[in-house]
Amino acid sequence: MEFLYEYGLFLAKVATFVIAILLLVGGVVGLASKQKHKKGELEITSLSDKLSDVTDMLRSFILDKDQLKKLEKDQKKAAKVEKKQKKQDSQTDKGNLYVIDFDGSVDAHEVDSLREEITAILTIATDKDEVLVRLESGGGVVHGYGLAASQLQRIKDKGIKLTIAVDKVAASGGYMMACVADKVLSAKFAIIGSIGVIAQLPNFNKLLKKNYVDFEQHTAGEFKRTLTVFGENTEQGREKFRGELEEVHQMFKAFVQSNRPNLAIDTVATGEYWYGSKALELGLVDEIQTSDDFLLKANEDKEIYSVKYTIRKNIAEKFSLAALKSVEARLMKWWQKSQLIGK
């Protein structure tokens, strides 16, 4: 009986604690909803300064004092000459390089940050500048990646050179974005291509029928719904669905061809993918080079800036996560205590 009493007391404490946490979270959510939520913030970082810091740190370890002193003098002389030359001839200004990172998911929600980053760059960039997009994506929804490609087109429309570097993968929707660039760089073993369209879904109609469950779906319009998860699919619906996929594929091919007119589109638009070296042979990319090597080369005569738009979490989101972790920790302690009581 004593065990049952202790166990009942334990459950009462758990329930009280959980209810209290839920009320507290609810209050914070209500408070946060009344506050003006800031969507995000723009972060500008000098990659040139970062590269210089790395170089200086390594030199301080490798070179002796005399070598460092001589190097410092040479650098000061070179800086004076460069400054004087820029004053005499403004043509020596080779512009800036702006770097954007796009790591795309299936729903391409990262396009929300991409549009903010591109808008920020276009407010200040000139035709002397260049934009590098470090792109990583295996593709996803057509409308999301179509919008992402349109955002990149804005850069070219302003007369600014656009380079895209693929270190790992730019397939399907990822390649839809990549083909917009003036130049596409690829690492030797990066995955490139997959110019195709895929759609798949399960169907539970037979399972429902086996368990005597009816499913009803009513539509207005012959092809408002072609395939369904729970209803019985028809050959007519399947044919219509395949036709819609083929239509999207033709649009995809036409888009790639318009951006890379020398590409043998029927050869590469089979849904296959290739590694960087083969992609270069097929004309899908322009050069085998990693983004790191590109940045090191560009740093010789350009100032490099990373542009990143970070979407911030509101108070409710942050507090809810912390509260859940706290509840989990307390419940674990109480559970361990109850195990000891039971013994």
Instruction: Find out whether 124 and 160 touch, Cβ atoms under 8 Å.
Output: no
Quick check: is 124 in a domain? Answer: yes
Same domain, 93 and 6: no
Q: Among 41-50, 200-209, 210-219, 321-330, where is mean pLDDT lowest?
A: 321-330
Q: What pLDDT is attached to residue 342?
A: 46
Report CA-CA distances (Å) from 229 to 148, 162, 210, 212: 30, 42, 16, 17
> Which domain range does residue 6 map to?
2-37+315-342
More confident residue, 200 or 38: 200
Q: What pLDDT is attached to residue 55?
A: 66
Give the confidence band of 185 by pLDDT, cuts at 50, 70, 90: very high
Same domain, 81 and 33: no
Quick check: is 75 in a domain? Answer: yes
Q: Could you confirm whether 224 is annotated as catalytic? A: yes
Same domain, 129 and 276: yes
Rounded CA separation 285/58 (Å) = 34
* Average pLDDT estimate for 244-261: 96
* Average pLDDT estimate for 144-154: 97
Q: Could you confirm whether 172 is annotated as catalytic? A: yes
Percent of the chain with pLDDT strictly greater than 70: 69
Quick check: is 7 in a domain? Answer: yes
Same domain, 60 and 72: yes
Quick check: is 71 in a domain? Answer: yes
Quick check: is 159 in a domain? Answer: yes
Same domain, 17 and 85: no
Q: What pLDDT is attached to residue 199?
A: 86
Same domain, 23 and 129: no
Distance of CA 225 to the CA centre of its chain: 31
Quick check: is 132 in a domain? Answer: yes
Catalytic residue among 113, 137, 161, 172: 172
Same domain, 325 and 302: no
* Average pLDDT estimate for 137-154: 96
For 286-318, the pLDDT digits (tens) are: 999 999 999 999 998 899 999 999 877 666 556
Q: What pLDDT is attached to residue 264?
A: 95
Same domain, 104 and 24: no
pLDDT of 150 > 50? The answer is yes
Give the confidence band of 83 by pLDDT, cuts at 50, 70, 90: low
Quick check: is 214 in a domain? Answer: no
Specify the CATH number for the domain of residue 155.
3.90.226.10
Q: What pLDDT is attached to residue 89?
A: 46
Spell out the residues 6+ positions from residue 28 whose beta carbon is closer than 8 angstroms to its own: 315, 316, 319, 320
Same domain, 150 and 53: yes
More confident residue, 238 or 38: 238
Same domain, 187 and 293: yes
Catalytic residue among 65, 210, 224, 343: 224
219: left (phi over 0), alpha (psi -120 to 50) or beta: beta
Same domain, 307 and 326: no
More confident residue, 310 or 100: 100
pLDDT of 11 > 60? The answer is no
Give me the half-sphere count of Cα atoms (radius 13 Å) on the Cβ side of residue 334. Answer: 19
Same domain, 135 and 279: yes
Quick check: is 228 in a domain? Answer: no
Q: How many domains does the chain have?
A: 2
